[in-house]
Amino acid sequence: MKISTKVEYGLIALTDIAMNSEQGTAVSASEIAQRQHISQKYLEQILMLLKQAGFVRAQKGLKGGYSLAKPTASVKLSEVLNALDNSILADTYTPEDAQNEGLRPTVNACLWGRINLYLRELTTNITLETFLEQCRESAEQSWDYYNI
Amino acid sequence: MKISTKVEYGLIALTDIAMNSEQGTAVSASEIAQRQHISQKYLEQILMLLKQAGFVRAQKGLKGGYSLAKPTASVKLSEVLNALDNSILADTYTPEDAQNEGLRPTVNACLWGRINLYLRELTTNITLETFLEQCRESAEQSWDYYNI
DNA sequence: ATAATCTCTATTTATTTAGTAGGATATATA
DNA sequence: TATATATCCTACTAAATAAATAGAGATTAT
């Protein structure tokens, strides 16, 4: 499944903020950009999406930056993805589709609709909390892998 | 999830062939194009993919066309999708990704990899046979819906 | 004051998608 | 064998989308 950089960077940024603002300090866009090798200006646009959707709060000025606006357990991955790209979990259903005399509506209903439902269920059941836990486990595993 | 017309039309075409070549007669591209309202020239390119991947066989010349090359129960949806667009079920993993010092490899492994695995499992368990059955059920349902 | 930070909008560039187009090749049938 | 009807193959193009780049404005801790 092809993921746009916007969605990928957005999730990386959210993860970076979660991991690096634990002491109550905000994480600036420039920090994230440097750490994750992402264009800062592009990242700023993406961070605005995360802020508008209520996942992070922003603090302007010196020592400002972004911090989490909610407890990680209440952040559903499906909602984060929707905030970054509202087509990623959506059915691409058009009004003309419904009037199509061919197989298009049927295939849409039977297959793509079913796949999207599946994806929504999957991503609804992943929270930022569980995701961060998996990231830590994954990091440990690759550490072991290279050192044993 | 955004599906390209190439993939969508490919699946529609395969379904059309399955439904309309039962008497051993081949289905021509022009027939499919008319029935499904798809550009014939574009469709021809897509049918070539399905042929190259071994899902349909082609018969040139007068009264020619396409017919299924395998029993429907042995056609896995995952394989059809891969034939039409090999990125749709794939991890978008690049060599640079592995060397990235940031969170990118971790997020790739923990999230996109997991989602793709999920999608592959789902689509591997759908065969053309089961899909056709669902299409028929769906058609009956909408029939009922509008007539009762 | 000022330097650092987010905010907002416009523009540009690169890539992908969704076709269009034209002709070559093969073949059933009259 | 002539012909109409198919598939096969490749090149090209227009439109949409993705991925930034750029610049200026607003805010705020120090």
Cα of B60 to nearest chain A Cα, Å: 25
pLDDT of residue A145: 52
Q: CB distance A103–B37 less than 8 Å?
A: no
Whether the pLDDT of residue B51 is over 70: the answer is yes
Q: CB distance A3–B88 less than 8 Å?
A: no
Ordered DSSP codes for B46-99: HHHHHHHTTSEEEE-STT-EEEESS-GGG-BHHHHHHHH-TTTTS----HHHHH
Q: Which residues of A touch B43 (CB under 8 A)?
A: none
Q: Which nucleotide lies at the shortest CA–C1' distance from A38?
A: D20
Contact status, residue B43 vs residue B81, Cβ threshold 8 Å: no
Which residue is nearest nucleotide C28, judged by alpha carbon to C1' distance?
B62
Separation of alpha carbons A8 and A13, rounded Å: 9
Q: Which nucleotide lies at the shortest CA–C1' distance from A47?
A: C6
Q: Which nucleotide lies at the shortest CA–C1' distance from A4?
A: D18
The SS3 call for residue A91 is coil
pLDDT of residue A148: 45
Q: What is the DSSP letter of B27?
A: B
Query: What is the average pLDDT across B107-125?
Result: 96
Separation of alpha carbons A99 and A95, rounded Å: 7
Q: What is the DSSP letter of A37?
A: T
Positions 70-109 in B, CB within 7 angstroms of strand C = 87
What mean pLDDT, rounded, does chain B reach?
A: 93
Contact status, residue B31 vs residue B20, Cβ threshold 8 Å: yes
Q: How many CB atoms lie within 10 A of CB B5?
A: 12
Whether the pLDDT of residue B127 is over 90: the answer is yes
Cα of B90 to nearest chain A Cα, Å: 6
Q: What is the DSSP letter of A47?
A: H
Q: How many CB atoms lie within 10 A of CB A29?
A: 22
Single-letter residue type at A12? I
pLDDT of residue A99: 85
Chain A residues 114-133 with a CB less than 8 Å from chain B: 115-116, 118-119, 122-123, 126, 131
pLDDT of residue B37: 97
Handedness of CA B37, B69, B120, B91 (dihedral sign): negative
pLDDT of residue A24: 80
Q: What is the pLDDT of residues B56-96, one digit of tens each?
A: 999 999 999 999 999 999 999 999 999 999 999 999 877 77
Separation of alpha carbons A29 and A17, rounded Å: 10
Q: CB distance B103–A16 less than 8 Å?
A: yes
Q: Which has the higher per-residue pLDDT, A22 or B128?
A: B128
pTM over 0.85: yes
Nucleotides on chain C within 7 angstroms of protein Cβ: 2-10, 17-22, 25-29
Burial class of B99 by CB neighbour count within 10 A (0 to 12, 13 to 18, 19+): exposed
Q: Torsion over CA of B139, B135, A2 and A5, rounded to 10 degrees?
A: 20
Beta bridge mates, B66? B27, B58
Whether the pLDDT of residue B148 is over 50: the answer is no
Q: What is the pLDDT of residues B23-45, one digit of tens each?
A: 789 999 999 999 999 999 999 99
pLDDT of residue A111: 96
Contact status, residue B92 vs residue A4, Cβ threshold 8 Å: no
Res. B143 pLDDT band, cuts 50 70 90 = low
Closest by CA position to B13, among listed B2, B24, B34, B3? B34
pLDDT of residue A92: 84
Res. B22 pLDDT band, cuts 50 70 90 = confident
Closest by CA position to B20, among listed B74, B60, B65? B65
Query: What is the average pLDDT across B93-120?
Result: 91
Separation of alpha carbons A98 and A91, rounded Å: 13
Q: CB distance A119–B119 less than 8 Å?
A: yes
Q: CB distance A36–B8 less than 8 Å?
A: no
Per DSSP (E only), the strands in A1-148 are 56-59, 65-68
pLDDT of residue A7: 98
The SS3 call for residue A39 is coil
Q: What is the pLDDT along chain A (148 residues), one digit of tens a residue?
A: 999 999 999 999 999 999 999 778 999 999 999 999 999 999 999 999 999 999 999 999 999 999 999 999 999 999 999 999 999 999 987 777 888 899 999 999 999 999 999 999 999 999 999 999 999 988 777 665 555 4
The SS3 call for residue A68 is strand
**How long a stretch of residues is chain B?**
148
Which residue is nearest nucleotide C6, judged by alpha carbon to C1' distance?
A60
Separation of alpha carbons B65 and B83, rounded Å: 20
